[in-house]
Structure 1
Amino acid sequence: MNRSNFQFFRTGACVALLAIVLMPVYLSATWSVIAVDARTGRVVVSSATCVPQSRLIGFPAEGLMDIQAIVVPGIGVAAAQAGVDRSRVNQRLIYAEMKNGTDPADILEMLSDDPDYQRRQFAIVDLQGRMVGFSGEGNSAASLSVQGRIPHEEIYFSIQGNILASNDVVYDAVRRFMSAEGTLTDRVMAAMEGADEAGGDVRCTCETDPVPAAPCHGRNAHVAYILAADSTDPEGDSFNNGDYAMYINVTDDNIESHENGNPVMTLRQRYEAWKAAGR
C-alpha cells in the first residue's frame, strides 16, 4: 500500500489489552476509530475486539465501550486500549483533563507516570484539531496508530489497533475513512469495515467460540460498537455514560439469527437501520 495517499500526523506501536490490578488481561485483536468534526461538533468512537462479551463482563465491564471509550461532548473523544487500566484511573484522568482543555500531548505525558504505561495504547482527538496516539513497547504486533486530518475539512481522526493480522488493518481503515463520503459517522463505519476486511485478527474466525446462531462471513472479532455524541448531548456521571446521539452495540450474545456472526457486518446492518429510522 502506498502510504503517501494518507495525511499522516503520528504513528506508534500497538498493544495487547486490559490491565487487571496486578495481572494483565489482554483484549487481543482490538482496533478502534475515533474522530471529530469541528464544524458540526460531533465526536465518534467505534471499536471491535476478539474478546468475547462474557469475558468483558468479567473485567468487570458492561462491554467494550464501557472500559475503552472516553467521550466528552463538545470537547473530544479518546480510546484507552491494549493493557487497559481496569481500575479506570487512566480513563478518568483523560476525561478530567479533556474537560479542562488540556492539550492531548500533555495528557499523554501525565499518563506516562503509570508504571504499566508501556503496555497501554491511547488515542485522543479534540475539536480543536489536536491529536495524539501512543502504543507502548510492551504491546504485541501488529500494533500501530495513525492520526490525520481530511484535507480542506475540519475532520480529525485517530485509528489504532493491536495484535492485528498486519499493519494493513490500520492502513486500510485510514484509506477507507479518508475516501468515504457522507457524515462523520459514515466515515467511521467505513473505516471499521476496512479494518475488518483487511483481516483484523486471524485468530478470531467464524469457528471461534462463542459462535452466534447466525450466518457468518469473515469474522475477525466477537464484539463491535459505534457511538456518536453531539456537543449538546447530556453527560452522565462517568466518562462514557451520557445520553448520546447514537450508540449501537453488537456482541456475540445479542446477534440475532437474521443478522451476521461477524459483528462488524451486523454493526453495519444496525447502523443502516438507525439511519433509515431518521434518527
Structure 2
Amino acid sequence: MTFSVVARDPATGELGIAVSSCVLAVGRAVPSARPGVGVVAVQARSRRGLGPSLLAGLAGGATPADLVRAAAHAAEDVDRQIAVLDTAGRVAADTGRGSFPVCGHLLGEQCSVQGNMLASPDVLPAMARALAAAGGALADRLLAALTAGQDAGGDVRGRQSAALLVVGPEPASDEDDGVRVNLRVDDSGDPVAQLRVLRRLQRAHDERDYETLAVFAPEGARDLYAALAASQRGDREAARAALAALRARPGWSAWLAAMAGDDRLAGVSRLLR
C-alpha cells in the first residue's frame, strides 16, 4: 500500500528515506531512522514495532542482511515488507509473500526502492533510475525518486500522505540531534508535490534565502523576511518599509527589541543607520 526509497550519501554519510502512500500520516508508520545507526522502511502489513526493533538490532551490531533474514523467517511477519540500511551503506530488503501485489523491491548501491499495491510494475524501476540520475543533497535525490514513483503510477488506490527523513552519520548528542530533514504531509490530494514545497521552504531557511521566504513563508512573517531580503541586497527603503509594517503589528515591536542582538537583524540595523 506504499512505495519508498532508502539511500546513503557516500560523500556525507547521511542516511535517508522518502515514502508515500494512500493512507493517513504514512510518516508515522513506515520510516524509522537513528543518527549514526541506520534507517529502515517497514511497510505492507508489518507489525508496528518492527521499525524500532530493526534499528535496535543495527545498534547492537547486527547487519541489515542478518535482520532481514530473521524477519523473513518469522511467522508473524509473512505480510511485511522491509528495507534496512546501515551507516556503512550495507542494505537488505525483503517483500513477504503476503504483501499486496503489484509489489517488490530493487536493491542498488547503498540504496533500495520498495513498494506494494503499486499501480504499475514500472514504479520501482522509475524510482531507481531517478535516484541514480539525480544530483544535489540526499534529501533532494530521495524526493526525485519519490516523484518518479508517483509519476509512474504510485499507489494504485491514490494519494494521501508522504514523508522525508534524513539523519547524519554520527550518533546524536546534546549539541546535535543528528536529524537533517524531517518533513511530513499527512493528508493531501498531492502529497509528493506538497512535500517538495516543504523541502523548498526548509532549504530557504537553511540557506537564508530570504527572497523566497518573503513570498512563501506564512503571512505573519513575510514582512520580517522582506526586511532581511532587502538587507541582503542593500535596499534601504524596502527594509525600512518592511520594518515599519512589522512594528505596526501587535507584539512585533517588543520581539524586534528582544532580537536586537541577532546577527540577521543586525544587518538590517546597519543598513538603516
Q: Could you say which residue in structure 1 is the equivalent of 2:117?
A: 163
Distance in 2 (alpha carbons) for counterparts of 1:235 and 1:106: 28
Query: Which residues of 2 match residues 22-61 of structure 1 at below 5 A?
Result: 28=1, 30-51=2-23, 53=24
Q: What is the Cα deviation at residue 232 of structure 1?
A: 4.0
The answer to whether the 8 A contact 2:19-2:31 is kept is: no
Are 1:192 and 2:127 matched, yes or no?
no
Distance in 2 (alpha carbons) for counterparts of 1:97 and 1:124: 10
The one-letter amino acid paired with 1:77 is V
Q: What is the Cα deviation at residue 76 of structure 1?
A: 1.8
Aligned counterpart for 1:250 among listed residues 158, 171, 185 = 185
Q: Could you say which residue in structure 1 is the equivalent of 2:164?
A: 226
Q: What is the Cα deviation at residue 116 of structure 1?
A: 2.6
The one-letter amino acid paired with 2:3 is W
Q: Name the SS of the counterpart of 1:48 in structure 2.
A: strand
Q: Name the SS of the counterpart of 2:78 in structure 1.
A: helix
The answer to whether the 8 A contact 2:87-2:169 is kept is: no
Aligned counterpart for 1:82 among listed residues 44, 49, 55 = 44
Distance in 1 (alpha carbons) for counterparts of 2:66 and 2:203: 37
Q: Name the SS of the counterpart of 1:116 in structure 2.
A: helix
Distance in 1 (alpha carbons) for counterparts of 2:22 and 2:51: 21
Q: Could you say which residue in structure 1 is the equivalent of 2:212?
A: none
Aligned-residue sequence identity (percent) comes to 31
1:141-170, Cα deviation, whole Å (9 max, x unpaired): 110111112xxxxxx111100000112111
Q: What is the Cα deviation at residue 113 of structure 1?
A: 4.4
Are 1:69 and 2:31 matched, yes or no?
yes
- The CA RMSD measured in Å over matched residues stands at 1.9
Are 1:173 and 2:127 matched, yes or no?
yes
Distance in 2 (alpha carbons) for counterparts of 1:168 and 1:235: 41
Q: Name the SS of the counterpart of 2:12 in structure 1.
A: coil
Q: Name the SS of the counterpart of 1:171 in structure 2.
A: helix
The answer to whether the 8 A contact 1:37-1:127 is kept is: no
Q: Name the SS of the counterpart of 2:194 in structure 1.
A: helix
Q: Could you say which residue in structure 2 is the equivalent of 1:11?
A: none
Distance in 2 (alpha carbons) for counterparts of 1:235 and 1:120: 33
Q: Name the SS of the counterpart of 2:106 in structure 1.
A: strand
Aligned length: 205
Q: What is the TM-score when the length of structure 2 is the normalising length?
A: 0.70
Distance in 1 (alpha carbons) for counterparts of 2:13 and 2:135: 18
The answer to whether the 8 A contact 1:36-1:76 is kept is: no
| Pair 1:203–1:67, CA change in 2 (3 A) | closer
Q: What is the TM-score when the length of structure 1 is the normalising length?
A: 0.69
| Pair 1:81–1:235, CA change in 2 (3 A) | farther
1:7-28, Cα deviation, whole Å (9 max, x unpaired): xxxxxxxxxxxxxxxxxxxxx2
Distance in 1 (alpha carbons) for counterparts of 2:92 and 2:173: 23
Q: Name the SS of the counterpart of 1:194 in structure 2.
A: helix
- Which has the larger Rg? 2
Task: Return the structure number with greater helix share.
Answer: 2
Distance in 1 (alpha carbons) for counterparts of 2:135 and 2:10: 17
Q: Name the SS of the counterpart of 2:55 in structure 1.
A: helix
Q: What is the Cα deviation at residue 129 of structure 1?
A: 2.3
Q: What is the Cα deviation at residue 72 of structure 1?
A: 2.0
Q: Name the SS of the counterpart of 1:125 in structure 2.
A: strand
Q: Could you say which residue in structure 1 is the equivalent of 2:101?
A: 141
Q: Which 4+ stretches in 1 moved above 6 angstroms? A: none
